[in-house]
Copies of this chain bind each other. A is one copy, B any other.
Amino acid sequence: MANFTFQGKNIYYETHGEGSPLLVLNGIMMNCLSWNPFVRPFSRQNRLILLDMLDQGRSDKMEGPYTQEIQADLIRALLDELKLEKINILGISYGGEVALHFAVKYPSCVDRLVLSNTTCYTSPWLRDIGEGWNRAASDGEAYYYTTIPVIYSPKFYLENNEWMENRKKLLIPIFSNKAFVSSMIRLTDSASTLDLRDRISEIQAETLVISSEFDFITPPPEQKFIVSRLRHVSYALMPDCGHASMYEKPMLFASLVLGFVNNCETLYTV
């Protein structure tokens, strides 16, 4: 419901409610609309900020290749736009990766950090999986079957088969849109050089890291590595859940985020 200009690009964002600001960073195929079911709980005590990053949703598309660092710079510009010095950030998947870039580059701007289903390194394995996604992008149906099932747990996909079939009908036309898939390819490519393994130990923000038991894109060892490097870190596992944790276990996901971001204490003396 608001726009600003970043490096000549029009950027779309929304704010809801009042309170300690909580910026939410989308996964690769998501946009502000994806958070509809979370707007009410996330804006009750917080000023919720939703953002379509470059090549996402209602923000402008890019022409050529870039890296995730530009998305971190975009967030820095958004803080200026909103006249905020420090924010809480929730990032999921691609959004968590951008959050890591931001926290490393602009450490003083991060209050609390929630990293869900995030890696700090695009390994050859993940890069080649992304390559498979990009090669399927010329056909909407192929892109659906290559990118969507794998982000859900088999059990969720089975038990919510009707919902998944509806999503299939919804997504295939979108995935058949050339401009959309070109954005997806650029976003995927922008993550392909991610390697913050040696940098994340610099992060000072109080951080919550969330893994899903059946995350087949960024499996738990990725988050365990992050946890092993951070200083002020809590770590939660969502059992029986796939990569798209916010869709599979929304009640637990929202409880973790809100409980952590709004918890007054940072350290208990055990």
Contacts and interface: CB of A to CB of B under 8 A. Distances in A.
Interface in A109-156: 123-126, 128-129, 131-132, 135-136, 139, 141-142, 144-146, 148-150, 152-155
A126 B154 CA distance: 7
Of the four ranges (under 10, 10 to 19, 20 to 34, 35 or more), the interface on chain A belongs to 35 or more
How many copies of the polypeptide does the oligomer hold?
Answer: 4
B252 A158 contact: no
Given A135-B142, A221-B154, A259-B257, A240 B235 contact: yes
A7 to B, nearest CB: 32
A260 interface: yes
Interface string A215-256: 010010110100000000011111110000001111110111
Given A142-B132, A146-B146, A254 B263 contact: yes
Interface stretch (A37-45, A60-68, A77-85): A37-45
A252 B208 contact: yes
Nearest to A150: B129
A70 interface: no
Contacts of A44: 264
A177 interface: no
A211 to B, nearest CB: 8
Contacts of A240: 235
Interface of A: 37-38, 40-41, 44, 123-126, 128-129, 131-132, 135-136, 139, 141-142, 144-146, 148-150, 152-155, 157-158, 160-161, 163-164, 206, 208, 211, 213-214, 216, 219, 221-222, 224, 234-240, 247-252, 254-260, 262-270
